[in-house]
C-alpha cells in the first residue's frame, strides 16, 4: 500500500497475543514491484524466510493487477502462502467491486490461501456513516463469495477519522499499517488485537526489486499453517 511514509526500525519479536512471530513475515506487492515489467523471484523470497505475501488483485470496478496471475502461480510453486487484496474505491458501489475481486482471485480456499483482504484507506468522499455502511456491504458480499471471513487493512489515523473510530468491525481480523517503530502498532476501532502488522514500506527482500512493504503475523488467528491452508505444517509456525 502507499499512504504511509514513516519508516519503522525493525520487526517485532513478541506480539499482543504472547506469540513470538518475527519469523512469520512476508511482503505485500503490486505492479510497483515489477519495475520495467521485471518479475519477482518467489523462490528467493521464500529462501529468505518469508512464508507469505499479500498480492494486490483489483481496485475499484475496472483495475486488475496485470501481474496477478503470474505472481499467484509463481508463489504457489515456490511455497509462499498467498493473501490477495482489493483496493477499495468507496465512491463506487461495493457489491460490484466485491464481485470483480472474487472473480479474479477464483476463491481463497485453496492450498496456501489466506482469506480475502479489503484495503481501506480512501473514503471516496463518503462521511463516516456512509463509509461504515459501504464497508459492511463489501465485506458481507466478499465473505458470501469466498466462504471465508475477510481481513481489513487500514491505518490508525484513517480509521479514527474516516471511520469515526467505529468498533463495528472487531469480528474481522485486522491488518494494521503503523511505521512508527514502536513495540506494538496502534490498534484503533476497539479491536482487541491485530493479526498482521505492516511495519515498514522500505524493506529489502531478495528477489524483489526496490523497496517493499514488510508484514508480520501475530498468531491471533492461531497456527499460521492452518490459517494459510499450508499442508503438513503442524508446527504452529507454518512450514519451514
Supply the residues annotated as catalytic: 28, 119, 121
35: which 3 cell numbers?
A: 519495475
User: Closest Cα to residue 224, out of 76, 75, 116, 114?
Assistant: 114
Q: What is the distance, to the nearest Å, from the Cα of residue 21 to the centroid of all Cα atoms in its chain?
A: 16
Amino acid at each position: 500500500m502507499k499512504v504511509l511514509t514513516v519508516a519503522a526500525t525493525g520487526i517485532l519479536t513478541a506480539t499482543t497475543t504472547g506469540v513470538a512471530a518475527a519469523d512469520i513475515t512476508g511482503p505485500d506487492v503490486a505492479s510497483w514491484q515489477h519495475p520495467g515489467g521485471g518479475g519477482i523471484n518467489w523462490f528467493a523470497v521464500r529462501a529468505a524466510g518469508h512464508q507469505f505475501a499479500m498480492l494486490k488483485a483489483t481496485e475499484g470496478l475496472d483495475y486488475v493487477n496485470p501481474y496477478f496471475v503470474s505472481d499467484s502461480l509463481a508463489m504457489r510453486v515456490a511455497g509462499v502462502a498467498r493473501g490477495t487484496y482489493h483496493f477499495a474505491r468507496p465512491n463506487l458501489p461495493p457489491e460490484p467491486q466485491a464481485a470483480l475481486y472474487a472473480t479474479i482471485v477464483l476463491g481463497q480456499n485453496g492450498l496456501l490461501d489466506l482469506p480475502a483482504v479489503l484495503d481501506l484507506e480512501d473514503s471516496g468522499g463518503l462521511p463516516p456513516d456512509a463509509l461504515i455502511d459501504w464497508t459492511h456491504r463489501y465485506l458481507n458480499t466478499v465473505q458470501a463469495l469466498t466462504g471465508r471471513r475477510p481481513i481489513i487493512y487500514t491505518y490508525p489515523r484513517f480509521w479514527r477519522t474516516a471511520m469515526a473510530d467505529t468498533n463495528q468491525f472487531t469480528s474481522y481480523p485486522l491488518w494494521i499499517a503503523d511505521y512508527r517503530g514502536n513495540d506494538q502498532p496502534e490498534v484503533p476501532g476497539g479491536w482487541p488485537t491485530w493479526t498482521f502488522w505492516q511495519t515498514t514500506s522500505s524493506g529489502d527482500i531478495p528477489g524483489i526489486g526496490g523497496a517493499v512493504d514488510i508484514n508480520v503475523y501475530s498468531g491471533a488467528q492461531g497456527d499460521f499453517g492452518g490459517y494459510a491452508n499450508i499442508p503438513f505444517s503442524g508446527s504452529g509456525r507454518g512450514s519451514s
